[in-house]
Structure 1
Amino acid sequence: MVFNARTSSLSRAAVVSFTTLLAAPVLAQDVGGEALEEVVVTGTNIRGAVPIGNPIQTLGAAQIGESGKATVAELLRELPVNFAGGVAQADNNRGGQDTSSAGSNLTGGSGVNLRGLGALSTLVLVDGRRVATSGQFGDFVDVANIPAAAIERIEILQDGASAVYGSDAVGGVVNFILKRNVEGLQTLARIGTLTEGGGDELQASAAWGHGWDSGRVTLGYEYNDRGRVTAADRDLNGDLSSRGGINWPIYTTHVGSAANIFPGTASFNGNVAYTVPQGPGTGLTVAQLTPATGGFGNSSNPWNGWDILPEMKRHSLFLTFDQDITDGIATHGSARYTRRDGNYHTGYVDIYGAVPTTHPAYIAGIGAPNSPNNFSVLVDDILTQRDVQVDSYGADLGVTFDIGGDWQLDVTGSYSREIQNRRSQLERDANIDDFVAGAGGGRVAAPNSVACSLMGLNSSNIASIAAPSAAQRFCAGLNYETFNPYSTEPLSAQVLSQLIGYEDLEFDSWVRQGTVKVDGTVFELPGGPLKLAVGVDYRKEYIDGELEFNYRSIDPVNMPYGATEREVKAAYAEFAVPLVGDRNSLAGMRALDLSLAVRHEDSRGLGDFTSTDPKFGLRYKPIDSLTVRASYGTSFHAPPMRFAYDGPQPVPGGNAIFYANAFYTAPCNTTLVELIQPQVPNASGACPFVGMVVSGGAGPTLQPEEADTWTAGLEFLPESVPGLLLSANYFNMQIDNRLVRITSGALGGILANYFATGTSPYLSNLVFNPDDALVQSLFDDPRFIGLQGPGVTRTPSQVAAIIYATQTNLASLKMDGVDLGASYGFDTGIGEFEVFANGTLLLSYDIQATPGGRYEDRLGKYESTGNPVKLKSRQGVSYRRGAFGVIATINYTDSYECVSGCYLPGATGAPTLNTAPVQIDDWITLDLQFNYNFEGAGGLLSGAGVGLSVLNATNEEPPFVDTGRIVTGNAPESYDAANAIISGRAVALTLTKSF
């Protein structure tokens, strides 16, 4: 953004620090008789030019510092144009694959989601260069690894830009520009906390720079240490009844420190027959058990021991340099490195299993003769944890050559890499590596470690069984110590090691990019110089992974994830055509500029594609104070390589096929799916069906997303009212072959919506009552890992539904909306004031599930997949007098509704699905920022400043919604983490000092 001299400090502190106006002027203008400096922004390949026809947001280093946010991830979350929260916000680590460090987002990273299209459709750059992707699927760029101290400014292009950048630039582009002009030493120290408990934060940084006649250098370091926030800090316990929701632990956490015993299959929401008394749990009879009232049994707090915000530490180093080699030849480059380590507390392990007759504590008389005792128990002897680590690298080096006139040749290469690691403690509840002889010949999966711990057999007593089965012989050979789930006394270290194992997962992704570009003036037009940029671009992308685990085996197993790579070649050209300028302006036509860009991109590797994308831009000024602009272009997003890769991978959430008996339920009176017979409603009144999940890669059939986007907007700076700026930008886009993946966190809501309405936008991914031959083919697939969770094994004819939780090309998405902005700065004589407001209003967001089908309105409709709300905005007022400044900002997220898939308490308090829309309230928070610069002070105070930030000053709680969203640990959340955060009021003190 550009400002006149009188209002620049005020505007930068207010408007830009709160995400700027959404449609900034992009060319030098005359306002109040004062010349404005030209600003070069993201979105063009031509030096000294700006995108013609596009709105741009710019956040400078000073504005980032005055925002009150410690990290760029926190800052970008607040952008009105960044809908549905991006990827994996810090206080949402329990959810599905993309929203959780328990899923494919291995290290709890944060992405950007412009326009609510998903992180897949937002291109993130550092100094215009691509960055290695993050997560197991390589489907977002982790901005949490970019230090705030290294950033000179953040430039955000709010339009499709594949004509300039190629793949991924569908919703827009976020470009982080690193500092290159620091002179001297800049230091910062920040200490903060959350007033409701936890979340203490310490940040320190130093950036030093020096320039000389032929070059300059900047180097720096940033450290960030944030403490954990536990569920107990926010009084989370799963009981939402005080807010009009469900007391979920009663219905869905049928597990406690003392065991429950079930009449049938044990499950988290099954009917309990008896509870076990406190004590050693040996020699028990049925008479000593306590009958369970209402089938509820013992329960527990499903949030107990969980973090909602992990402990995280980050170290970052960065370097930039520029050096003239000789006349007409110069070099430029940068390097950065971040190491981020985190630790999550992940609660206690709950075990649902069966005590066989061979167990010394077996209780006779429960169920049929010689049938196992089905039980649940909470292993609260050890608090499980998840450690995450990421090493992030980036470097670029370029040489420029002046080749005549203003023509310049630029040759630049860059390299970026992300090495991600996650080590988790998990229940050893499956075995996909060990096999035993099957009853009819062949071989079947061997019992898992928990089952063998319950067997009660070893090499000393196996002889007491006349004809032991292959499974019994297998377990006896392990010589395990017997686990007694009926005991409430502490477990031994040996038993704990048998029950709780580990998963150590590492993914390595990198991208190499090389670009050769030449640009300059072709010839002079009456309106100014016609400029051209042409170039070629080459990049290679790679991602692989490796898993070591024992939670799905007896002995540790090491398995690689198949490596995927892609080679992309591109050629591009861009014209900037000034038809009318200062030299030939007319009344009613002060300026008229056109632009044309085109890029051809060709990819070979996993998922070949070819795309040619044009873009046209127009800027028209009928008078000096009014700028009208428009653009049209096409964009595309190639499927991430891991989306296409469908080779075998050893865990659910990777590429795996499995089925379950207890995880998927439907209304007991449904005719849409075949339920398990006899029907046994769970505590929530729903009945289970055998669901089979195909997760992970979809194969090479995936096609790129293809988008058509056009925009029209204006900026108005009236000469009669200095300091006033009004802007509006209308955008309209249609995306075909839209890439969507059903994640574990979204599946419950998708199924609930389907059974409530009989249809779903994801209908092509849901196959109910499938053909036996189709199911058998999935049983025979090398990705098949069998039964997950409690219950008996099933045959293909008993599988009632196939859920393709894979990536898919949905038919189409149509959306349009308006970015609005206004600011007015004025001097009262007692100080400078500015009022400002900016926001994004969506007018439509319609999804077509299948080609030729009708479009469904999903705007402002709650789904865990993250549909955008209608309006997000930030507005407020700032005041500055001399060295003192204060900014008050109100953040607004519009209300929306849950049409289906939310829960209300029934007459008895039991959960019932809503039959009418449930309103989710709007969320309004207040941020305060106070700054004081010791201008003119001497001694230690020279160059010093102090800032106090109070975010969510009134400590507003997130709007309540009860979706029963249970993914991990059966712990429902009471808010929508895509549109709100639960951390509460945050206070921070920042000290800065320049030397």
Structure 2
Amino acid sequence: MRFQRIARFAAGISVAACSISLAHAQSMPATPDQAPSGEAAPGEANEPGVEIIVTGTNIRGTKVVGNSVLRVTSQDMLDSGRSTVADFLRELPSNFAGGVGMSDNAQGGQDASSAGSNLTGGQGVNLRGLGALSTLVLVNGRRVAASGQYGDFVDISTIPSTAIERIEVLQDGASAVYGSDAVGGVVNLILKDHDDGLHTTLRLGTTTQGGGSEALLGGSYGTSWSGGHLFAAYEYYHRDRVRADQRAIYNGGDFSDRGGINWPQYTARAGTAANIFSGTAAANGTVIATVPQGSNDALSASDLTTVSDGVGNTYNPWANVDVLPRVRRHSFYLAAEQELSDALTLSGDLRYTWRKTDYNSGYAVYYGTVPSTSPYYIDGSSNNFGVVIDDEGLVRKARVDSFAAHLALDAELGSGWHARFDGSYSREVQSRYATMLRNTNIMEHTASGAYAPNSITCALSGLNSSNIGALSSPSEAQSYCAGLDYETWNPYSTEALSQAVLDELIGYEDLRYVSQLVQFTAKADGTLFPLPAGDVKVAIGADYRREQIGGALSFNYRSTDDEYIQYGTTRRQVGALFGELSVPLIAPDMNVPGVRSLDLSSAVRYEHGTGLGAFDTVNPKFGLDYVPFDGLRVHGSFGTSFHAPPMRYMYDGVQPTTGGNGAFLRTNLYTAPCDTDLVALNGVSGTPGGSGNCTFTAIVVSGGAGDSLKPERATTWTLGADLEPPMIPGLKLSASYFNIRIKDRITRIQSGTLGSILASYFATGSSPYSAALDFDPDEATVEALFDDPRYLGQLDSGPTQSASDVAAIIYATQVNLAELRMDGFDVSASYRLETAGAGTFDAFFSGTRLLSYKIQAAPGSGFIDQLGKYSSTGNPVKFRSKQGLGWRYGPWSVRGTVNFTSSYECESGCYVPDASTGAPVLATSPVPIGSWTTLDLNIGLKLGGIARALADSSLAFSVVNLFDADPPFIDSGTAVNDTMADPYDAANATAIGRTVSLTFHKDF
């Protein structure tokens, strides 16, 4: 095994050596003055004598050969009107599906929603729509600790915008340079390390539809001395919550005014005055009566109000729900550098962010049965009820503490060689406190070993140590409840509940995760030998990193006593060797016909990972730049990339929390057409053999794939051209084709997609996720899951199910799907016109057009094109673009930006209202989703000419979404019994609406 690893790396080095040999064979003796000096990144002026590293290469002072690097400055972010780095990058055209967790959408699934694995509501980057896993995010060129329960993205919302110098985006695979995760591209957030004087920023903003008021206060200070400099920055950010009832598009869940479904009529059949059901109490069950207002301590059947429409009372599922939470953030940053001698320089930086978010997450709704032992049992009634518990709103409070430190030693070795030694440490502490119903019990057991009743069941029972003796032969469950001495809950009362009863009904979850990363890098780069076209440069180095993530959970919402569970900490060690070569073959002064210049590059990196999720891989990359004449650059690249499975994907230990590892049974949540023969129906809801949808019993196994996962392996190639015609000064045009092929693609069935996946399967009989769907499982497999420590029991109030009743097992874990193929174009254009008397005019355009996004479910099966096909977790749309005009004249500047997302469709799995009844039914033809166009406006004014006190100060007025365009409507219900269908696709739009802000900047 060790020999094979060495052989693979040696093969990669041999490729680089061949490039050197080829170049040397064509070389001629070079004079010293032919050696080029360090070059700046495109559009950037170097400090005198400073050679910088550009994202995408390890060689100082060279450009990236074969690719173009997108460069965003701090001024670009200011002109955008966006308040945070995360919000700005969301609008990057190649950042498909909006990254991670912009808004707290109900259908976001475990990995996107802050109610699931993205436990603090962090934001990530999703280049190419491949998922945040496939985008490598660096800060100052270094990896940082990962976020989320699974450690599957980097939270860019912890980065203070005050400290940003620039952002560089390489939109191509780059594992040959950076190792794992650089499949869709690399985003490098480069923070300032020097400045002069004091700089202050104050920003105030708000949304015009209500909520979302924000304030940002930032300051930075830079100073320098002989041989050194220091930079420090602080930023405070506050944003108020945006509630769903402040946005008309939610309309209490009734979308019938837009051709959608009035969801509460069919999936929210409960009220503060309880409904009584004829059969099993369920959100879409048949209501036969409602209770009156009052304490209702001694109701009889005659006191009930008969319901004839089967609906009864309904509730607004969006009441007391935040679209965006309240946020507070403090960020600190410090960087310094000191020359130790003529040859040695020491530098370092520290960064700390504390962020707290506070969500309102609605009201608890419970469907159950009042037993005959309760003093509130109604004789002559089914006592199957549904009620909204609105005495106490549910909350979700999250906090993140993010810390990073970096130290580097640079050494000039002479003869054009330079060495650098880096060490960095980062730590992310994430915590979330949430309240929710206490409707399961996975911890306590009765004397026989069976699961004990849950807290709500005991609160309904009416049993306590004083009256249990009245039962001649109480069951184990009844005796257990009596021992708790609970105050009895009367679900038929509309009066305020006591705090004791609320504590019995509403529990908590207190989750904490700690993610850490240590990285050491040693590298050297310099001139290998000269060629007639310039110096052949090389970089070689070694890298080591250690990653770990672990957590703990305190809770009582799945127990009757407070419980504490420590999760196993997962660790990985990764060692790497890398080499890179830059070869100039032809230079302009060589006067070669048809070739102004020609440059080659090659890179190779070997990575070996041990710990949970071992891997072993070698990834090469080759680049070419060809300039046939001044103003035109043709470039191309080819290489392989990979990303290793996040450690927590492979950890299959118990994590009894939302979005964590677990297995649970449901009888009334998953549906299929009542006339299907693809799954056995249980009749809890619907009539098997009839029309409409019927429920089936399923076990969902969530998270924790174990050691079956393999790294994703990608092959990427690009071909593009950059044009700056000399005859039209100021014009820049660029186009690049990219092609990505990923094998062993890692994906996961999430809660937000499961409904549409099942609907598509029952409609077509096949699914890209067929490997994760086990219909008609054998009883031994089911029994094994019943005995699995992750099994959480039956999570609904339907009839108790045995192993023989289970009709399906859904493995909502991570799996390596066979293959993904995609290709497309990145296009950009800009033009600057400088006039003598009317100022400077700018026009700009950038866009990404995808041509395909095809998924193969299993080797040998066909590819299914998901491009432009709606998914609640965000399949990419075909086209995104950003374009606009700018004008600067004297102290004034004006910039207008149009953001465009193309239309797409929901091909299968979406629900529409039945033409005659209005009930949710599966759409039989694709449902179109409109395009979305928004206009942003920024007006800036330098104030120095107004008053002396305002010297070196400026004011900017910004409007995001100037015309307050609503997101395209889509009735995004994921199942016939969906209780919180979103009225828009949060992966490709937002419901925030128009935002206005005023920013004042002052330099001292």
Tell me the TM-score normalized by structure 2. Answer: 0.94
2:423 maps to 1:413: yes
CA contact (8 A) 2:86 2:124 kept: yes
Q: Distance in 2 between matches of 1:909 and 1:406?
A: 75
2:981 maps to 1:955: no
Once the two structures are TM-superposed, the CA of residue 293 in structure 1 deviates from its matched residue by 2.2
Alignment of 1:79-228 (within 5 A): 79-92=92-105, 95-228=108-241
2:865 maps to 1:852: no
Question: For residue 340 of structure 1, what is the aligned residue in structure 2?
Answer: 355
Once the two structures are TM-superposed, the CA of residue 336 in structure 1 deviates from its matched residue by 0.3
* 1:217-258 deviation line (CA, Å, top 9, x unaligned): 100100000000111111321000001100000000011001
Question: For residue 58 of structure 1, what is the aligned residue in structure 2?
Answer: 71
Q: Distance in 2 between matches of 1:967 and 1:569?
A: 50
Q: 1:652 to 1:953 in 2, by over 3 A?
A: closer
Question: For residue 386 of structure 2, what is the aligned residue in structure 1?
Answer: 376
2:310 maps to 1:295: yes
Matching residue's letter, 1:424: A
Alignment of 1:579-618 (within 5 A): 579-618=585-624
Alignment of 1:353-364 (within 5 A): 353-364=368-379
Q: 1:30 to 1:315 in 2, by over 3 A?
A: closer
**3-state SS, counterpart of residue 984 of structure 1:** coil
**3-state SS, counterpart of residue 663 of structure 1:** strand
Matching residue's letter, 1:754: Y
Once the two structures are TM-superposed, the CA of residue 832 in structure 1 deviates from its matched residue by 1.5
Q: 1:272 to 1:803 in 2, by over 3 A?
A: same
Question: For residue 277 of structure 1, what is the aligned residue in structure 2?
Answer: 292
Question: For residue 647 of structure 2, what is the aligned residue in structure 1?
Answer: 641
**3-state SS, counterpart of residue 66 of structure 1:** helix
Question: For residue 324 of structure 2, what is the aligned residue in structure 1?
Answer: 309
In structure 2, the gaps of 5 or more residues are 1-38
CA contact (8 A) 2:261 2:971 kept: yes
Q: Distance in 1 between matches of 2:285 and 2:102?
A: 33
Q: 1:754 to 1:847 in 2, by over 3 A?
A: same
CA contact (8 A) 1:580 1:592 kept: yes
Query: Which stretch shows the higher mean deviation, 832-841 or 307-316?
Result: 832-841
Q: Distance in 1 between matches of 2:549 and 2:355?
A: 20
**Aligned with residue 436 of structure 2, among 413, 426, 449:** 426
Question: For residue 10 of structure 1, what is the aligned residue in structure 2?
Answer: none
Once the two structures are TM-superposed, the CA of residue 39 in structure 1 deviates from its matched residue by 7.4
Matching residue's letter, 1:418: E
Question: For residue 269 of structure 2, what is the aligned residue in structure 1?
Answer: 254
**3-state SS, counterpart of residue 610 of structure 2:** strand
* 1:44-81 deviation line (CA, Å, top 9, x unaligned): 01111121001211111122222211100000000000
Question: For residue 762 of structure 2, what is the aligned residue in structure 1?
Answer: 755
Question: For residue 889 of structure 1, what is the aligned residue in structure 2?
Answer: 897
Give every structure 1 segment of 4 or more consecutive aligned residues whose post-TM-superposition deviation is greater than 6 Å. Answer: 26-31, 966-969
Query: Which stretch shows the higher mean deviation, 953-962 or 654-663?
Result: 654-663
**3-state SS, counterpart of residue 92 of structure 2:** coil
What's the % identity of the aligned pairs? Answer: 54
**3-state SS, counterpart of residue 149 of structure 2:** coil
CA contact (8 A) 1:638 1:705 kept: yes
* 1:496-545 deviation line (CA, Å, top 9, x unaligned): 01100100000000100000101110111111111110000000000000
Question: For residue 728 of structure 2, what is the aligned residue in structure 1?
Answer: 721
Q: 1:679 to 1:157 in 2, by over 3 A?
A: closer
**Aligned with residue 282 of structure 2, among 267, 279, 283:** 267
Once the two structures are TM-superposed, the CA of residue 283 in structure 1 deviates from its matched residue by 2.0
**3-state SS, counterpart of residue 707 of structure 2:** coil
2:751 maps to 1:744: yes
**Aligned with residue 631 of structure 1, among 637, 650, 656:** 637
CA contact (8 A) 2:405 2:426 kept: yes
CA contact (8 A) 2:930 2:968 kept: yes
Q: Distance in 1 between matches of 2:472 and 2:565?
A: 38
Matching residue's letter, 2:753: A
* 1:114-133 deviation line (CA, Å, top 9, x unaligned): 00000000000001100100
Question: For residue 869 of structure 1, what is the aligned residue in structure 2?
Answer: 877
2:533 maps to 1:520: no
Once the two structures are TM-superposed, the CA of residue 93 in structure 1 deviates from its matched residue by 6.1
Once the two structures are TM-superposed, the CA of residue 270 in structure 1 deviates from its matched residue by 1.3
In structure 1, the gaps of 5 or more residues are 1-25, 368-372
**3-state SS, counterpart of residue 582 of structure 2:** strand
Question: For residue 678 of structure 2, what is the aligned residue in structure 1?
Answer: 672
Once the two structures are TM-superposed, the CA of residue 749 in structure 1 deviates from its matched residue by 1.4
**Aligned with residue 327 of structure 1, among 324, 342, 365:** 342
Matching residue's letter, 2:615: F
* 1:132-170 deviation line (CA, Å, top 9, x unaligned): 000001100000001101110000000000000000000
CA contact (8 A) 1:862 1:899 kept: yes
Once the two structures are TM-superposed, the CA of residue 935 in structure 1 deviates from its matched residue by 4.6
2:556 maps to 1:550: yes
Once the two structures are TM-superposed, the CA of residue 936 in structure 1 deviates from its matched residue by 5.4
Q: Distance in 2 between matches of 1:617 and 1:40?
A: 17
CA contact (8 A) 1:39 1:50 kept: no
Question: For residue 712 of structure 2, what is the aligned residue in structure 1?
Answer: 705
Q: 1:542 to 1:430 in 2, by over 3 A?
A: same
CA contact (8 A) 2:211 2:240 kept: yes
CA contact (8 A) 1:585 1:591 kept: no
How many residues are aligned here?
Answer: 959
Once the two structures are TM-superposed, the CA of residue 413 in structure 1 deviates from its matched residue by 0.2
Q: Distance in 1 between matches of 2:598 and 2:716?
A: 22
Query: Which stretch shows the higher mean deviation, 601-610 or 956-965?
Result: 956-965
Once the two structures are TM-superposed, the CA of residue 181 in structure 1 deviates from its matched residue by 2.3
**3-state SS, counterpart of residue 445 of structure 1:** coil
**3-state SS, counterpart of residue 590 of structure 2:** coil
Q: Distance in 2 between matches of 1:929 and 1:284?
A: 63
Query: Which stretch shows the higher mean deviation, 579-588 or 146-155?
Result: 579-588
Q: 1:193 to 1:30 in 2, by over 3 A?
A: closer
2:941 maps to 1:932: yes
Once the two structures are TM-superposed, the CA of residue 282 in structure 1 deviates from its matched residue by 2.2
Question: For residue 919 of structure 1, what is the aligned residue in structure 2?
Answer: 928
Q: Distance in 2 between matches of 1:404 and 1:39?
A: 18
Question: For residue 838 of structure 2, what is the aligned residue in structure 1?
Answer: 830
2:700 maps to 1:693: yes
Q: 1:852 to 1:49 in 2, by over 3 A?
A: same
Question: For residue 4 of structure 1, what is the aligned residue in structure 2?
Answer: none
Q: Distance in 2 between matches of 1:30 and 1:105?
A: 37
CA contact (8 A) 1:84 1:867 kept: yes
2:509 maps to 1:503: yes
Q: Distance in 1 between matches of 2:976 and 2:174?
A: 36
Question: For residue 18 of structure 1, what is the aligned residue in structure 2?
Answer: none
Q: 1:963 to 1:936 in 2, by over 3 A?
A: closer
CA contact (8 A) 2:679 2:696 kept: yes
Q: Distance in 1 between matches of 2:718 and 2:93?
A: 18
CA contact (8 A) 2:281 2:367 kept: yes
CA contact (8 A) 2:52 2:60 kept: no
Tell me the TM-score normalized by structure 1. Answer: 0.94
Q: 1:229 to 1:665 in 2, by over 3 A?
A: same
